[in-house]
Copies of this chain bind each other. A is one copy, B any other.
């Protein structure tokens, strides 16, 4: 762990919106932060906006405009974290410790100028470190930054996790605690599975797969940055003091937790908020798939899964998943895409979902796919599409079977 003064460990904590939803919540967080400070740590706290503030600001803007300029939305939304950060600094001072709140801009979060989805270019940590060396708790607004042209930017939804990890990198901290309303990463969604288990740890790669396959506990970007700079993430409860889940490298995790035998499957992820698009009977010639996804790319869509089956008689079927809420944006383009690619038909299915197993054991154990498909079949669940990587196996199933599918797969591998 890095140090500010000699032997002073740096602690970076991130608190989400539900953890700072009211003045009382903020006072509670302040007590917890103060306790850490009094253990001799240099403490940096990154906060989201209070509760539903961001949603309320968005609602205000949509009373005024159906399509507000992205630059102005960034300006508007960044007020939310300014409020929570300054209130938390006030609460920490009230607890008797010295504290200072900093905007993303003041804290040195330099981004490009892509409003509402800015990419981090650099974190200039000097100002944070200067305050830390003076014994102050530094409270920073998450989610937001500033461009080199002094324009306010935001990192997109879930950006506060990303901010927190980036600040940990910028000031040379080795760890970042993500404190939230769940107390760790579970083997499956506790609302669906009866006895999910809290993971003591998982690897960056496993976490990334789980996030991209529907697990909502951590934002992918934060994990990517953590992996790149080897920042250990600790996901735990902002209220209770129970141990959470450590997200770290495979090597570190295995060593730390004495995992001698391979864990085949770390968890089961699912995603109900997807729609399947199929271009049927596309001409089987080079460049067609490229045309399709280049055309969709201009919507900055997150394409979740692409499957192209064997061609027959010179024609292909290309299927892919998009987030349900994005479907309206692309629907108009799909007809013209069909024309361009010579597809005979475009088929859209909103009533699908994905169930996925994730784990570093997936690639090493040939039988896992078979066990998964059999477990689904035993419940009478029809598998529509299949996609695999070295870390996961993902199946598209009818949405009304999704819960049953998650339960069946969890039972097969994790109970």
Give the B-binding residues of A (Cβ under 8 A): 23-24, 26-27, 57, 60-61, 63-65, 68-69, 71-73, 75-76, 78-80, 82-83, 85-87, 89-91, 93-94, 99-101, 103, 106, 150, 152
Contact = CB atoms under 8 A, between A and B. Distances in A.
B75 A60 contact: no
A297 B75 CA distance: 39
17 contacts: A23-B60, A23-B64, A24-B63, A60-B87, A61-B87, A64-B91, A65-B90, A69-B89, A72-B89, A73-B86, A73-B90, A75-B82, A75-B86, A75-B89, A75-B101, A103-B152, A106-B152
B82 A68 contact: no
A64 B87 CA distance: 8
Contacts of A90: 61, 64-65, 68-69, 72-73, 76
A47 to B, nearest CB: 12
Given A57-B83, A64-B26, A93 B69 contact: yes
A180 B100 CA distance: 35
A192 to B, nearest CB: 37
Q: Which of A78, A79, A85, A152 has the most CB of B within 10 A?
A: A79
Q: Which of A23, A64, A85, A89 has the most CB of B within 10 A?
A: A64
Given A69-B90, A76-B90, A79-B86, 11 more contacts: A23-B64, A27-B64, A60-B83, A61-B86, A64-B94, A65-B93, A65-B94, A68-B94, A72-B99, A75-B86, A106-B150
Contacts of A150: 106
A76 B86 CA distance: 5
Contacts of A79: 79-80, 82-83, 86
A65 B91 contact: yes
A82 B78 contact: yes
A71 B102 CA distance: 11
Contacts of A89: 69, 72, 75
Contacts of A73: 86, 90
A380 B160 CA distance: 68
A76 B68 contact: no
A111 to B, nearest CB: 15
Q: Which of A69, A90, A101 has the most CB of B within 10 A?
A: A90
A253 to B, nearest CB: 39
A86 B77 CA distance: 9
Contacts of A93: 65, 68-69, 72
A189 to B, nearest CB: 34
A378 B1 CA distance: 82
A135 B100 CA distance: 39
Contact of A85 (B24, B75, B80, B82): B75
Contacts of A23: 60, 63-64
Contacts of A76: 82-83, 86-87, 90
